[in-house]
Amino acid sequence: MKAWIIAARPKTLPAAVVPVWVGAMPLLIDDDPFSGSWFLFWCTLASCLCIQIATNLFNDAVDHRKGADTPRRLGPQRVTASGMLAPGKVMLGALAFCLAATLVAIPLIREHGWVIVAIGAVSLFFAYGYTGGPFPLAYRGMGELFVILFFGLVAVTGSYYVQAGKWGGLEIWTLGLQCGLYSSVLIAINNLRDIVEDTASGKRTLAVRFGKTFARAEIVVFCLLPLLLWVVVSSVNLPGLLLGLIPAIIGSVICFAVCRTEPGTHYNRYLALGALQLIFFAFVATLHAALR
């Protein structure tokens, strides 16, 4: 069981929880008993978590097969590379979580039909296609774009659609972009940390393609651009602005740290800060919606 918990990568799961939370909360805490559904929220959250875990399991097995993960990696332990689980077993586990994601999404499909089927089918396809298949996104320098789209815009606006039955306006789409940017901090730090190993294995991340300076600049943009969007698009008042500074402060610490240190195992601490930044953004967005 311990090996499966490691393979699921619990520290990455905020990237699945936060966008669902941010997209649904405006309609769950608006004091209108006829808007929002906690049952549909939990179904959405469970399905997204299953897709995230499936993605992590596919990534674990495929990266090992392609030589991107070795026992000498700087990041957290990978169960396939370390021999804790056989590659075939990890792939079967990923498929099982894909099936689970589909089953818990049945109430969403019954409520909203083909829209949920389309979102779910594409998400499940890219759970494998992120690192596997003929055009693996992570190996083509498209990992950050994938995260912004699916762990940001799609997850937030889709979660709002589940609750409202319609697509949100500019503010919801902005929240989606902010979530995607904050989630991309995690993958950008990961890619900068693994730049040497990825170069050797042929994994052409943006950090590998354009170098450390670009990778650091990318992290700075991902950490601080959401604050600019918060100020410009969300039309926040002074208390709202102060709330938005909370994740930005954490982001500033991350930016300072990656710009002052060379990639190494200590980057795992920066990943933890990135996850904390994402969680604080969920708190800030929810509190802002409650105070409006």
| 38-64 pLDDT per residue, tens | 999 999 999 999 999 999 999 888 877
pLDDT the model gives residue 68: 60
pLDDT at 30: 79
pLDDT score recorded for residue 175: 93
Give the integer Cα–Cα distance in Å for 208 and 114.
Answer: 39
User: Which range has the worst mean pLDDT, 23-37, 59-73, 146-160, 191-205?
Assistant: 59-73
**Predicted confidence (pLDDT) at residue 236 exceeds the cutoff of 70:** no
Q: How far apart are CA 60 and CA 81, in angstroms?
A: 8
Residue 36 or 219, more confident: 219
N-term to C-term CA, the chain: 44
Which residue, among 160, 150, 164, has the nearest Cα to 119 in the 3D structure?
A: 150
Percent of the chain with pLDDT over 70: 92
For residue 198, the model assigns a pLDDT of 86
Span 160-178, average pLDDT: 92
Q: Are 98 and 124 in contact (CB under 8 A)?
A: yes
Q: Is the pLDDT of residue 138 over 90?
A: no
Q: What is the pLDDT of residue 70?
A: 60
Cα–Cα distance for residue pair 138/253, rounded to 1 Å: 26
For position 99, what pLDDT does the model report? 97
Mean residue pLDDT of the chain comes to 89
Where are any strands of DSSP class E within the chain?
A: none
- Model's pTM, two decimal places? 0.91
Which of 22-31, 60-69, 80-89, 133-142 shows the lowest mean pLDDT across its residues? 60-69
- The CA distance from 119 to 155, in Å, is 9
Residue 69 has pLDDT above 70, yes or no: no
CA–CA separation, 9 and 240 (whole Å): 33
pLDDT the model gives residue 131: 82
Query: How far is residue 8's CA from residue 100's CA, in Å, rounded to a whole number?
Result: 14
